[in-house]
Structure formats: C-alpha cells, structure tokens
C-alpha cells in the first residue's frame, strides 16, 4: 500500500481535532468545499464512534461548518423549537426559499434575510405583532401565511405587508383579516392613481418611498373580507389570480371586478383567474407561487448542506 494522499491526511488531521479539541479548528481555512464534505463525513464517523464525547459539541461544530453552506431552499416541515430558530441566521446570506412551521411566538430571527424571495410560515403560537420583524424585506416575492387565524385587521398586518416592495404573491387564506388589510395593501396604488388623475404625475416627497405593490396572486379564501374590499382591488391591474371562496363576497359582487381586470370566473365564480389552468394549479399547490428552483439539493454537497442545517435546527 502506497503513502496516503495529502487530502486524506488533511481530512484525518482535521477530523481528529474535531473529535478531541473543539477549540483548535477553524474550518474557514479549508480551501475547497469538497474537502469540507470529506471532513464532515469523518466527523459523522467520529460522532457514531464516540457519540458521548462529541454530543455536547454538535451545535458548535455545525456552526463552524456553516461557512460552507450556500443553501437556497430549506423546508422545515416539523415544528422548530424557539431556542433553535436563531440557527437560521447562519443562512441569511444565501437563503431564497423557506418553509417553516414553528411553535415560537416571535420572528426576530428573520431580520436581515435580504435575499429571501419566498416564505411559507405557520405557527399557532406566533404573536400577530411578530410580523413587524418582516417589514421591509427587500426581495420577498411570495408570502404564504395560510391558516394563521390570529392575524386580524386590529394588529396592523396591512402596513407590514404593504412595506414589502417586491411582494407579488400573497396567501392570506383562512386568516382573520378583513377589509382594512386590503385597504392598506392598495393605499399607495390608490394615492398614485389620484395624483395621476390630477395631472401631478409620480408621487413626491416621503410618499415616493412607499412601495406600490403589484400583486399578481391574492388568496383571501376563508377570510373576513366583505364586498366593500372590492373597490380597493380595482387598482391592482397586474392581478392574475384572486380567490374569494368562503367569504361574504358573492358571485354577483365580483362581476364588475372580473370585467375591469379582464379575468375569468372559475370555481363557481368565487375565483378570478387569467386561465383555468392557473386556477387549478394554485388551488392544489402550497406555497401558491414560488420564484425559486425546487430542484436544488440533489448534488451530494447540497444534500450534505441540507442535512447539516436540519440537524442543527432540530437538535435538542
């Protein structure tokens, strides 16, 4: 048998340090992600071999390996403990799509996720005011809050949602929001329309900093909205899909909006859509619309990254 390769010697040396000296290793010095992957496998081997020795170091070692993670899509389908949501901050520089179910009461962990495009969030213990932590996220394109019944007009959900400049797809189905939230979502568009009708052109001053949402998808199924909200929706000229099922809004109420936005009635007239195909897809899929690549995570290195962050977040 010939001499061992420099790569294997490097990996073995680092793995030994991971197993017996948790303070002397800095994985940022490892030059290639492929080497980091082999070191990680060596660490896993040590973990199974000397699990009692390494157990207290798991979270520290995983945090060190976060230097190499470039995760774009993450799905956490089981409840994440409040104490471990902070671990998501390790991904704020790369994460674009997040589906998370949590028993936490706040969202302070999502501050700084400037690349996040799609967020599907569910938590029955989440305090309604916690949504203020999402205010102003610059890249958020799709937001799914379906089923969060604690969300109402009285806790100013509308202004928070209206502060998301890139928002195009919004699912508020089976929440307790009403007409006031819809008014907040469309207020700046109404204001811009009034200014244009007066011949003043674009908004000026501080008003010019307010996002003019260009929603394409809006799910209001099972909410508290009434026919009064329809006058606000007229300004959403980009709207391609509107779900009003199980609300106080009836079919005859929607006819004027249907013609104004040039949409077509689907599902007994309670859904307006540009096409029947889009309506079928969106009624069966969650999250409703996603701008991310769902196919990521198939390569060995990407699978390692996904498994590593899940171990970190779900560790106890």
Give CA–CA dist 78/100, Å, rounded. Answer: 8
Token pair, residue 229, equals 């909200």
Stated length of the chain:
316
Q: Which helix (H) or strand (E) covers residue 169, if one does? A: strand 169-171
| Residues facing residue 272 across a β-bridge | 242, 265
Give CA–CA dist 125/140, Å, rounded. Answer: 23
Give CA–CA dist 208/192, Å, rounded. Answer: 9
Phi, psi dihedrals of residue 234, rounded to the nearest 5°: -60, -25
Q: What is the mean pLDDT of each run of 10 residues along the chain (316 residues)?
A: 51 53 49 59 55 47 60 78 74 84 79 89 80 86 91 87 92 94 87 63 60 91 96 93 95 95 91 88 65 52 60 57
Q: Are 116 and 95 in contact (CB under 8 A)?
A: yes
What is the percent of the chain where pLDDT is above 90? 30
Dihedral (C-alpha) 242, 247, 252, 253: value to the nearest 10 degrees? -70
- If you count DSSP H runs as helices and E runs as strands, how many of each does the chain have, helices first? 10, 9
| Residues facing residue 273 across a β-bridge | 241, 264
> Exposed, middle or buried by CB within 10 Å (0-12, 13-18, 19+), for 291?
middle
Give CA–CA dist 172/176, Å, rounded. Answer: 9
Dihedral (C-alpha) 180, 184, 190, 194: value to the nearest 10 degrees? 90
> Exposed, middle or buried by CB within 10 Å (0-12, 13-18, 19+), for 294?
exposed
Q: Give CA angle at 124 (120, 127), nearest 5°.
A: 90
Q: Give CA angle at 262 (260, 266), nearest 5°.
A: 115
Q: Are 311 and 62 in contact (CB under 8 A)?
A: yes
Q: Which residue from 244, 129, 250, 232 is spatially nearest to 183, judged by alpha carbons?
A: 232
Q: What is the pLDDT of residue 108?
A: 81
CB atoms within 10 A of CB 171: 24
Q: What is the pLDDT of residue 21?
A: 44
> Tokens 């568009």, residue?
189
Q: What is the pLDDT of residue 25?
A: 47
Q: Are 137 and 185 in contact (CB under 8 A)?
A: no
Phi, psi dihedrals of residue 261, rounded to the nearest 5°: -95, 0
Q: Which helix (H) or strand (E) covers residue 118, if one does? A: strand 118-122
**Domains along the chain with CATH numbers:** 6-65 (no CATH), 118-284 (3.80.10.10)
Q: What is the pLDDT of residue 54?
A: 40
Q: Parallel, antiparallel, or unpaired for β 241-243 and 271-273?
A: antiparallel
pLDDT digits (tens, 9 = 90+) for 262-296: 999 998 889 999 988 888 877 776 555 565 655 44
Give CA–CA dist 313/59, Å, rounded. Answer: 9
């Amino acid at each position: 048998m010939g001499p061992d390769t420099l790569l294997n010697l490097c990996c073995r040396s680092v793995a030994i340090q991971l197993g017996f000296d948790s303070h002397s290793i800095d994985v940022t010095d490892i030059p290639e992600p492929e080497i980091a992957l082999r070191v990680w496998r060596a660490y896993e081997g040590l973990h199974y071999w000397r699990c009692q020795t390494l157990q207290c170091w798991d979270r520290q070692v995983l945090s060190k390996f976060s230097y190499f993670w470039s995760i774009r899509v993450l799905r956490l389908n089981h409840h994440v403990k409040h104490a471990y949501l902070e671990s998501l901050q390790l991904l704020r520089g790369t994460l674009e799509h997040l589906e998370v179910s949590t028993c936490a009461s706040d969202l302070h962990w999502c501050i700084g996720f400037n690349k996040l495009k799609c967020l599907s969030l569910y938590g029955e213990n989440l305090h309604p005011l916690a949504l203020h932590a999402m205010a102003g996220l610059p890249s958020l394109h799709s937001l799914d809050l379906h089923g969060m019944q604690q969300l109402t007009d009285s806790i100013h959900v509308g202004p928070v949602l209206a502060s998301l400049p890139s928002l195009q797809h919004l699912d508020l189905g089976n929440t307790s929001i009403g007409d006031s939230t819809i008014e907040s979502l469309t207020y700046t568009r109404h204001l811009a329309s009034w200014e244009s009708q007066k011949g003043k052109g674009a908004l000026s001053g501080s008003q010019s900093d307010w996002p003019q949402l260009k929603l394409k998808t809006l799910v209001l199924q099972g909410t508290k909205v009434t026919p009064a909200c329809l006058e606000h929706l007229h300004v959403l000229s980009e709207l391609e899909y509107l779900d009003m099922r199980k609300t106080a809004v009836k079919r005859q109420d929607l006819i004027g909006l249907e013609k104004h936005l040039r949409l077509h009635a689907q599902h007994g007239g309670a859904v307006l859509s540009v096409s029947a195909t889009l309506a079928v897809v969106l009624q069966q899929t969650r999250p409703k619309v996603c701008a991310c690549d769902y196919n990521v995570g198939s390569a060995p290195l990407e699978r390692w990254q996904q498994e590593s962050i899940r171990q970190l977040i779900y560790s106890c």
